[in-house]
Every structure is written in C-alpha cells, then in structure tokens.
Chain A
C-alpha cells in the first residue's frame, strides 16, 4: 500500500468510527467528541487525495526552484481547503459545546433521551 492509500483508509475509518459514536452514544458531550473525530477523518481523506507520491510540500524555496515547481510539489488546493475546514471545525465545536452547556443548565442533564420535546 502507498502512503496516500494508508492515509485514505485511516480517514474513512475515522469517519465511520466517529459517526458510529455520534449515533450510539447517549451523552451529548460524547456525541460532540465523536463528531470531532469524524471531522478529523474528513480532513485526512481530503489531504490524502491531494498527495502525489514522492513530491514535496508546496513551498517554493531553495529546495524547490520556481522553474521545476509543477513537477516537484503536491497539489496545494486540498491543503488550502482543509486549512479553512479545521478552523471552521473549531467554531462549530465551540457552538455545539455552548448549546450543550445551555441544555445542561436548563435541564440538569446531558443524556439525550431526557430531551423528548421534538420526539414523535
């Protein structure tokens, strides 16, 4: 197996594990933890798609002359995408945690089965 395939397999497994945890856990905090694992998995998959075997990072310094850039660097576009995705991920996690805290204050519980108002 090659490096990018190992990383991609890991990323897909992390997504599945994270979603499994989010679907089966009853504790809201544990669900949020599982979501962060799943989002890490998505990032790993995206970066592994952009990796080209044997190439170096997309930074053009002495090691990678400008003239040879197109044959020496990996794909920079997925990296730029993932960079922004990580930052947004923290924002979303903070939002989920703030809501979880509010729910705890309102009801004194973090068990998802105690919140039945929207259940039918």
Chain B
C-alpha cells in the first residue's frame, strides 16, 4: 500500500464520516456544512485522482457557491419563520 493509497483511504473515511454527519445531525445548518465538507474532501480526492480541473471546479462550485446558496435560503426561511 503506497502513501497515495493511504492518504486516499483516510480521505475516504473522513468523507464518509462527514456524509453520515450530514444525514444524522438534528441541525439543518450543520447538515449543510457537512455536505460542503463532503464536497471539499471529494475535491482533494479528485486531485489525487489526477484531475486538477475537476478539483478546482468542485472546490469553487460544489463546496463554495452551493453552501452559500443553502445558507442564503435557510437564513430567509429562518427570519420569515420567526415572524
């Protein structure tokens, strides 16, 4: 088992952990953050899989803009729900 495979295995475990957290946590905000974390870990994995283009896209769009969109809508819903 080479160092690269070891790093990938650790990353895979971390990604699965983040995904499980996104599904089991009670708080929606933590779920959104964990889904962003899954994307971020996946983008590192893409880098290991020799796909730098995909890694860049996933980091910028998958974990950046998507998480922001979720929080934007969540914030609106919170504010209107509390009225």
* Residues in A lying within 8 Å of B, measured CB to CB: 1-4, 6-7, 9-10, 13-14, 17-18, 20-21, 25, 27, 29-30, 32-34, 36-37, 40, 43-44, 47-48, 50-51, 55-59, 73-74, 79, 82-83, 86-87, 89-90, 93-94, 97-98, 100-101, 104-105, 108, 110
Contacts and interface: CB of A to CB of B under 8 A. Distances in A.
Chief secondary structure at chain A's binding surface? helix
Contacts of A90: 61-62, 65-66, 69
B15 A14 contact: yes
Interface string B14-44: 0110011011000010011001001100100
Contact of B58 (A6, A43, A98, A104): A43
Interface size class, chain B: 35 or more
9 contacts: A3-B4, A10-B16, A20-B23, A29-B32, A29-B70, A34-B23, A47-B51, A48-B49, A57-B51
B51 to A, nearest CB: 5
B51 A37 contact: no
A4 to B, nearest CB: 7
Nearest to A57: B50
A86 B62 contact: yes
Chief secondary structure at chain B's binding surface? helix
B51 A87 contact: no
Contacts of B20: 17
Given A17-B20, A44-B45, A56-B50, A86 B57 contact: yes
Interface of B: 4-5, 8-9, 12, 15-16, 19-20, 22-23, 28, 31-32, 35, 38-39, 42, 45-46, 48-54, 57-58, 61-62, 65-66, 69-70, 73-74, 76-77, 80-81
